[in-house]
Each structure stands twice: as structure tokens, then as C-alpha cells.
Amino acid sequence: GGTTHPFLMLQFLTNGEYNYKTGTFTLADGTERFYFATDNIQEERYKGLTPLDMIEITTIHDLHYDSVKSEGVMFHLISALSQYGKLGLVSIGKSHEQTKQYYEDVLTILDKEVSRVF
């Protein structure tokens, strides 16, 4: 279904494992991670942004995925960004609340940055 791609990103980025019996995703050090994913962020004002712009914006604001902490945001569908203003993301965090906060922070920052440029 629709959750396969984000789940594979979670596995690849963290090298963790999903326990089907408990429904938890655990890293090698025993800590849990959670994820929030969407492939349907679309905003007219995002048209013209390049994937590099988006990555730089989120890196400057300390939201891009950090492999040391095993948390942050990773993007996908970025080839649709410039032309359609559309992208997807997977946010990974230590709690459900943190993953949702990463998502909301990305939207807030992207909106703020495009209002400066465009």
C-alpha cells in the first residue's frame, strides 16, 4: 500500500527493525523511532523552488535528517517541486508528537522562505 515507500526510507535511514508483534520500530541501540509521512504537500507558491533550495532551507533550519541522531526530515518526489510545487516527506523522531512537529515546522519554514523570495 501507500506506506511502503516511507517505511523503506525509515529502515534505510536508521538501519532499525520493525517488531510486528509489538508494533514498534527500534534502532540498534534499543531506542524507538516513529515516523510521519506524506506524499501530498502541494503549494502553488512552491513552484520554481529547486530541490537544492528546499534541502538548503531545511538544513539551515536544522530540520533535515541527521544520521547521528536518527531523526529529522527526508524528502521524496522532489522532481515535482519546481514544476508542480509538490513534494513528499518522511519525518522521523523519538515520538509521534516530534514527527508531526517536524512536518509542521517544514511547512511553516517553506511558506516563510517562499514569501521572501517570490
Residue-wise pLDDT tens digits, 76-110: 999 999 999 999 999 999 999 999 999 999 999 99
Helix axes 96-117, 51-60, angle to 10 degrees: 120
Rounded Cα distance, 19 and 40, in Å? 28
Query: Phi and psi dihedrals of 99, rounded to 5?
Result: -65, -40
Domains of the chain, earliest start first: 4-117 (3.30.70)
pLDDT at 1: 42
Q: What DSSP character marks residue 95? A: S
> Where are the alpha helices (H) located in the chain, listed in sequence order?
4-14, 51-60, 81-84, 96-117
- Model confidence over 34-73: pLDDT tens digits? 999 999 999 999 999 999 998 899 999 999 999 999 999 9
